[in-house]
Amino acid sequence: MSNGNGKTIAFFPEAAFGPALNSVGIAQACKAMGHNPVFISDPGFTGVYEGYGFKEYYVNLSEPMPPEEMAKFWSDFINGHIPNFALTPYEQVDNYVKECWEAIVDSSKWAQKELPGILDEIQPDLICVDNVILFPAIKQHGVPWVRIVSCSENEVTDPNIPPHLSGCSENDHEGHKAYRDHFNDVIGPIHADFNNFLGDCGIEPYEIGEFCESSPYLNMLLYPEPVKFNRTNPLDPTRFQYLEGCVRKDDPYTIPDMGEHNDKPIIYISFGSLGSGDTGLLNRLIEVAGSMDVRALVNVGDYMDEYDKDALPANVHIDSWYPQPSVIPQMDMVIHHGGNNSFTECLYFGKPAIIMPYVWDGHDNATRVEETGHGFKMHRSNWQPDELKAKIEDCLNNATMAAKMAATSAHMQNSDGPSKAAGLLDQLMKDHG
């Protein structure tokens, strides 16, 4: 405990719900210790952190526009790439990944216009950033800064593990090299532009493929021990700590009444706030769930109007949002896109998953969940109903998988990631106070 000597901790997560809500979990634990967490946010996330009781400060990460237009920009961006979701991770480098890195580099440049002033206003004792790119103002502000890695563990590179975003299996070293070479070739001009920006800020250039550095103070990874990679160079525990997931507290959830189906196994289907734009995929999944002896909750995001509620199977319930940390513990299995929240929450609550990735580290998490025996990886579109039904039944009835899920869940829950993170941050501030 901090005995009332509360410090101001500025959290700056990426403008996506995965990293944002992981940071909320850590901030909740820091607040319980008597500290004052605040959030720096893209205007498109206005109100997200205030909803959890935290003060927000806003930094434009792109051309300024009203929050509702910013939210629409990213949903349109994702929806415009739906045809590319069927491509391999290697093939996505040439389109989705390339365009993402262009936007991410621009976000660092935009942040540098306002972030120094915002940090001067906040006067934080500590800064925690969860992003795949460096913001020079954070490194140069003069207080300790912490890197949170909420995405796949391979965001922190090692020659023996798959490249980030590749979706390669751990031992496919030939695939590792092919992806890494292709990524560096396509991203090369974007990386050179970023290095020029770093130079303008007085920061030494990064090696090709690197866009963010590890903090010299502390780096916290959400990946849990049961799925972490076998590294050639183990991470130094004085600077790198595994949090074993960081599940936030959320509002309770009551499963809706489904009449004669109420005693059936229940599954949860969600592709995140942005992935819900693939209504074709969700309709296919609804049809399969409707034909099985199960119940299903389906997250359809902002697309409720595109579904005929009267025509839904009686054993399927759709909604625009679910408080996942309250929903997943009540499920028997989950189908999701491999985002970091869904990935770690399923492991934390011991629920097997079928991951149908579409982009980013979903590919890595899908491969990892299958090769560690915690579920299955499936292509988003190249599957047949009987194949999916068989995988669902396996998740519901596989005793070996159930035992592994229970062991992983017990390990993660005993670790209490948010409290561990808050303790690490508290000690860091004491050491540098």
Q: Is the pLDDT of residue 68 over 60?
A: yes
Q: What percent of the chain has pLDDT over 70?
A: 98
Q: Is the pLDDT of residue 292 over 50?
A: yes
At residue 102 the predicted structure's pLDDT band, cuts being 50, 70 and 90, is very high
* Predicted local distance difference test score (pLDDT) of residue 433: 78
* Predicted local distance difference test score (pLDDT) of residue 416: 87
* Predicted local distance difference test score (pLDDT) of residue 3: 41
* Predicted local distance difference test score (pLDDT) of residue 1: 36
* Predicted local distance difference test score (pLDDT) of residue 245: 82
Nearest to 248 by CA among 42, 13, 2: 13
pLDDT by residue (tens digit) across 198-216? 999 999 999 999 999 999 9
Q: Is the pLDDT of residue 181 over 80?
A: yes
Look up residue 54 and give its two tokens: 């935290």
* Rounded-to-integer distance, Cα 298 and Cα 304, Å: 11
- Summary count for the chain: helices (H), strands (E): 14, 13
Sheet holding 218-221, edge to edge: 55-58, 36-41, 8-13, 126-130, 145-149, 218-221, 240-242
* Predicted local distance difference test score (pLDDT) of residue 290: 97
* Predicted local distance difference test score (pLDDT) of residue 244: 87
Q: Angle between the 385-397 and 279-290 helix axes, to the nearest 10 degrees?
A: 60
For tokens 């909740």, name the residue: 28
DSSP three-state, residue 421: helix
DSSP three-state, residue 38: strand
Higher pLDDT, 161 or 43: 161
Helix, strand, coil in percent for the chain, rounding step 5: 50, 15, 40
Mean pLDDT of 273-286: 90
Task: Tell me the C-alpha to C-alpha distance, in Å, between residue 57 and each of 42, 44, 108, 131, 340.
Answer: 8, 12, 16, 17, 24
Q: Is the pLDDT of residue 273 over 90?
A: no
At residue 370 the predicted structure's pLDDT band, cuts being 50, 70 and 90, is very high
Residue spans in the chain of domains classed CATH 3.40.50.2000: 8-248+416-431, 259-413
* Predicted local distance difference test score (pLDDT) of residue 248: 79
Q: Is the pLDDT of residue 79 over 70?
A: yes
pLDDT by residue (tens digit) across 107-133? 999 999 999 999 999 999 999 999 999
* Predicted local distance difference test score (pLDDT) of residue 422: 96
Look up residue 379 and give its two tokens: 């292509």
Instruction: Tell me the Cα Rg of the chain.
Output: 21
Q: Is the pLDDT of residue 21 over 90?
A: no
* Predicted local distance difference test score (pLDDT) of residue 219: 98
* Predicted local distance difference test score (pLDDT) of residue 82: 85
Mean pLDDT of 52-77: 84
* Rounded-to-integer distance, Cα 41 and Cα 116, Å: 14
- 259-413 classified as CATH 3.40.50.2000: yes
Q: Is the pLDDT of residue 189 over 80?
A: yes
Quote the Cα angle for 400-408-232, to 5°. Answer: 105
Look up residue 196 and give its two tokens: 């020029």
Q: Is the pLDDT of residue 74 over 90?
A: no
At residue 151 the predicted structure's pLDDT band, cuts being 50, 70 and 90, is confident
- 8-248+416-431 classified as CATH 3.40.50.2000: yes
